[in-house]
Amino acid sequence: MNQTTRMNQATRMNRMNRMRLVAVSAGLSTPSSTRLLADRLVQSARYELAAQGHEVETHVVELRDLAVAVANNLVTGFPAPPLAAAIDAVTGAHGLIVVTPVFTASYSGLLKSFFDLIDPQALAGKPVLVAATGGTARHSLALDHALRPLFAYLRAAVVPTGVYAASEDWGSGGDSYAEGLPGRVQRAGGELAALMSRREGKEGTEEHADDVDDVDDDVAVLERQLSDLRFD
């Protein structure tokens, strides 16, 4: 194995241990319970990833700040630099957390408009945690009849636990019959971290196969050199 191969292996190992976790918050108010829930989910997933030995880089995309740019992009077809950076962050993430307020029993129009701008193939296989906020628990079904179908269409890998936070959930620890918001946040964050690690591990295995090919190439070169010496 030559020095270049060893350097490539070290670079790949470092890349495997470094995770990019991006949250998309579609909250419209300031302060926003949607952003608060996004921050809690990021903290939970980051803690679990760190416990597994990963270095975690986190970023939150606030769609409220990009609303005008999203509308202009839908009309002109060209994203402004801040919007382009947000799209790159989402498509380049190892895992996504998507949190929206519920309007008329569904996700916000701003959230849908933003994901309409993303290449439908860019999220294929990407681990995604979906979450939502609303005034009453009645809107919790929006997770399953609106958000999950959206990301199923985009072929993302949505974690089993979706997190919905109604007004009464904040500060509630749950009871013997229902899991409270902190427990749901912890469980969902753990599921996302596990899925991210598993997916990255598979990609690392594929890259390791490339390393084996590099070693085989080195051996082949050495054999040719020895053969040339014998012919001389």
State the architecture of 18-201 in CATH terms: 3-Layer(aba) Sandwich (3.40)
Residue 7 has pLDDT above 60, yes or no: no
∠ CA 85-58-202, nearest 5°, is 95
Q: Which residue has the higher pLDDT, 136 or 1?
A: 136
Q: Which residue has the higher pLDDT, 143 or 11?
A: 143
How do the domains of the chain map onto residue ranges? 18-201
- Kindly tell me the number of DSSP H helices and DSSP E strands found in the chain: 8, 6
Cα Rg of the chain (Å, integer):
22
pLDDT digits (tens, 9 = 90+) for 191-218: 999 999 988 766 655 544 444 344 345 4
pLDDT digits (tens, 9 = 90+) for 156-178: 999 999 999 998 888 766 554 45
pLDDT digits (tens, 9 = 90+) for 67-78: 999 999 999 999
Share of the chain above pLDDT 70, in %: 76
Residue 105 has pLDDT above 60, yes or no: yes
pLDDT digits (tens, 9 = 90+) for 15-26: 557 899 999 999
Would you state the pLDDT for residue 212?
38
Q: How many CB atoms lie within 10 A of CB 97?
A: 30
For residues 144 and 32, what is the distance between their CA atoms, to the nearest angstrom? 23
pTM score: 0.79
User: Is residue 70 exposed (0-12), middle (13-18) or buried (19+ Cβ within 10 Å)?
Assistant: buried
Would you state the pLDDT for residue 169?
85
For residues 107 and 128, what is the distance between their CA atoms, to the nearest angstrom? 15
